């Protein structure tokens, strides 16, 4: 039987399929089995994958008339997925990183000195919607040229009723106008100065007014909360997340980032889809997350930039928690590259290159409940595919800090090439 294709990527030195785990995320040693095909090929028709396998086999199945794209000496993977992004913000906090890293000023002290999150809340609220869309589209372009084809995008940098609705509307607009798919999350994140000593009141307002409106207008698929020292406590986080669920949202949580806040344990009790950071999470709470079927999301940038301590990836993977990686792009530290996240996971968190790639693809897809469509190269899946100028998947940690993505396909369309968006 011959198969029609629009194009086929052939002769890949290493084609990583990540096949076989669309129903359940990969855990433990299975995170290291990534379905490598040497001299591999993948064929695409109408935006979907129609054949995957060794080049000779795939070519033998295809009808004539397709375009061949040679990937000799290259790595081919599914489009990378970034499941934790604080997408919409204005202003710069570049000077704070210097204070934190060179002078050793702790993150929360930056806020006490008049900087930090409140400055971003103010500047973001002041930026016009048009400018915000333009600025944010540039971030998405950077993600795309680095091989990221789907992201989760959070609101949370205005933290007023109108401001959060505006942010979620902007996320919806960007989802429509940009090739990257955006999965939207309402994130109760920053606290404006007038509520700094009245967080219970702020929580009441979020629960009684913001979340019902967001739910009614179907502006967010997920609700997320900063359950963290200096932000929302356990009780406040729980109330907001329960309200999110009541109004049609599924749940995510920021947990144990700066201290052991108990966020992971709360997340397990609530059955969150993802629990993110997990830097100070004790073993017992990791076990609870395993039981609740949650995906753990590691965010190596803030440890790299200023927290200094990383999640205990080895212990957490060995405990059986499926893990994903994300950039945590935010106003505090800002790197769009999921290639770089893999480098940090390998070089700083003791993950293997295969585990890191699993975490950046199929497990990331599970953490946003999209694994039936994306995250692996399998027949029937969406043709989100990246050709990297790399011999194999270990290059993310070997030749790092630069962009290895040579061609990026989204829904079977070439959207970026040689570091530039294609028209």
CB of 224 to Zn ion, least distance (A): 8
Closest CA to 361 of 373, 350, 349: 373
- How many residues bind to Zn ion according to rule CB under 5 A? 1
Decide whether 268 or 307 has the Cβ nearer to Zn ion.
Answer: 307
Scanning residues 167 to 196, which ones bind Zn ion (CB under 5 A)? Answer: none
Helical packing angle, 263-270 and 234-246, nearest 10°: 30
For 381, counting Cβ atoms within 10 Å of its Cβ (0-12 exposed, 13-18 middle, 19+ buried), the class is buried
Place of tokens 């039936």: 372
CB of 86 to Zn ion, least distance (A): 6
CB of 329 to Zn ion, least distance (A): 9
Residues 273-312: x where in contact with Zn ion by CB under 5 A, - otherwise, as a string: ----------------------------------------
Decide whether 141 or 328 has the Cβ nearer to Zn ion.
Answer: 328
For 172, counting Cβ atoms within 10 Å of its Cβ (0-12 exposed, 13-18 middle, 19+ buried), the class is middle
Q: How far apart are the first and last CA of the chain?
A: 35
User: Tokens representing 160?
Assistant: 């007023």
Decide whether 5 or 188 has the Cβ nearer to Zn ion.
Answer: 188
CB of 328 to Zn ion, least distance (A): 5
Q: Are strands 385-388 and 405-410 parallel, antiparallel or unpaired?
A: antiparallel
Query: Contact 323/298 with Cβ under 8 angstroms?
Result: yes
Scanning residues 347 to 386, which ones bind Zn ion (CB under 5 A)? Answer: none
* Residue-by-residue DSSP string for 335-387: ---HHHHHHHHHHHS---HHHHHHHHTHHHHHHTT-TTTSSS--TTSB--EEE
Look at the chain and count its residues. Answer: 423
Place of tokens 């607009």: 173
Which alpha helices (DSSP H) does 280-328 contain, by range?
Answer: 283-292, 301-302, 313-318
User: From residue 354, how far is each of 79, 165, 272, 365, 420 by CA, in Å?
Assistant: 15, 39, 26, 16, 27
CB of 334 to Zn ion, least distance (A): 12
Decide whether 257 or 388 has the Cβ nearer to Zn ion.
Answer: 257
| Dihedral sign (CA 310, 307, 344, 188) | positive
Distance CA 214, CA 186 (A): 8
CB of 340 to Zn ion, least distance (A): 16
CB of 108 to Zn ion, least distance (A): 15
User: From residue 194, how far is each of 15, 66, 124, 198, 204 by CA, in Å?
Assistant: 53, 61, 16, 8, 15
Distance CA 117, CA 382 (A): 37
The CB-nearest residue to Zn ion is: 328
CB of 283 to Zn ion, least distance (A): 23
Residues 308-347: x where in contact with Zn ion by CB under 5 A, - otherwise, as a string: --------------------x-------------------
CB of 187 to Zn ion, least distance (A): 7
Decide whether 74 or 86 has the Cβ nearer to Zn ion.
Answer: 86
CB of 330 to Zn ion, least distance (A): 6
CB of 298 to Zn ion, least distance (A): 12
Decide whether 328 or 355 has the Cβ nearer to Zn ion.
Answer: 328
| Dihedral sign (CA 170, 222, 378, 296) | positive
Place of tokens 């505090």: 332
Decide whether 75 or 206 has the Cβ nearer to Zn ion.
Answer: 206
Decide whether 14 or 328 has the Cβ nearer to Zn ion.
Answer: 328
Decide whether 80 or 297 has the Cβ nearer to Zn ion.
Answer: 297
Query: Contact 76/9 with Cβ under 8 angstroms?
Result: yes
Query: Contact 75/387 with Cβ under 8 angstroms?
Result: yes
Decide whether 333 or 376 has the Cβ nearer to Zn ion.
Answer: 333
Decide whether 188 or 243 has the Cβ nearer to Zn ion.
Answer: 188
Residues that bind Zn ion (CB under 5 A): 328
């Amino acid at each position: 039987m011959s198969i029609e294709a629009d194009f086929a990527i052939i002769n890949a030195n290493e084609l990583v399929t990540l096949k076989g785990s669309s129903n359940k995320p990969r855990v433990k040693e299975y995170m290291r089995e990534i379905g490598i095909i040497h001299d591999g090929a993948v064929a695409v028709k109408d935006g979907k994958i129609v054949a995957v396998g060794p080049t000779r086999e795939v070519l033998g199945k295809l009808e004539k008339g397709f375009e061949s794209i040679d990937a000799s000496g290259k790595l081919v993977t599914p489009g990378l997925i970034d499941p934790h992004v604080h997408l919409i913000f204005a202003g710069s906090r570049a000077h704070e990183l210097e204070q934190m890293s060179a002078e050793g000023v702790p993150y929360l002290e930056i806020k006490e000195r008049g900087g930090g999150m409140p400055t971003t809340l103010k500047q973001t609220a002041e930026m016009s919607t048009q400018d915000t869309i333009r600025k944010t589209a540039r971030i998405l372009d950077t993600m795309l040229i680095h091989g990221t084809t789907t992201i989760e995008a959070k609101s949370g940098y205005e933290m007023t009723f109108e401001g959060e609705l505006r942010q979620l509307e902007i996320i919806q607009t960007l989802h429509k106008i940009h090739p990257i798919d955006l999965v939207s999350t309402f994130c109760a994140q920053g606290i404006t100065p007038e509520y700094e000593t009245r967080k219970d009141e702020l929580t009441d307002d979020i629960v009684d007014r913001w979340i019902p409106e967001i739910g009614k207008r179907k502006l967010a698929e997920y609700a997320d909360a900063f359950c963290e020292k200096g932000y929302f406590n356990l009780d406040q986080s729980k109330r907001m997340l329960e309200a999110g669920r009541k109004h049609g949202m599924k749940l995510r949580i920021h947990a144990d980032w700066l201290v052991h806040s108990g966020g992971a344990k709360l997340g397990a009790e609530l059955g969150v889809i993802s629990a993110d950071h997990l830097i100070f999470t004790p073993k017992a709470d990791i076990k609870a997350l395993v039981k609740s079927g949650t995906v753990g999301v590691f965010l190596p940038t803030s440890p790299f930039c200023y927290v200094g301590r990383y999640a205990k990836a080895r212990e957490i993977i060995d405990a059986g928690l499926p893990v994903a990686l994300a950039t945590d792009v935010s106003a505090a530290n800002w790197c769009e590259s999921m290639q770089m996240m893999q480098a940090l996971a390998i070089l700083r968190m003791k993950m293997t290159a295969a585990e890191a790639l699993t975490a950046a693809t199929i497990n990331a897809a599970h953490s946003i409940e999209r694994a039936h469509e994306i995250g692996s190269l399998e027949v029937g899946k969406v043709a989100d595919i990246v050709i990297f100028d790399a011999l194999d998947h270990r290059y993310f940690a070997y030749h790092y800090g630069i962009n290895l993505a040579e061609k990026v396909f989204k829904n079977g369309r070439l959207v970026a090439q040689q570091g530039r968006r294609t028209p």
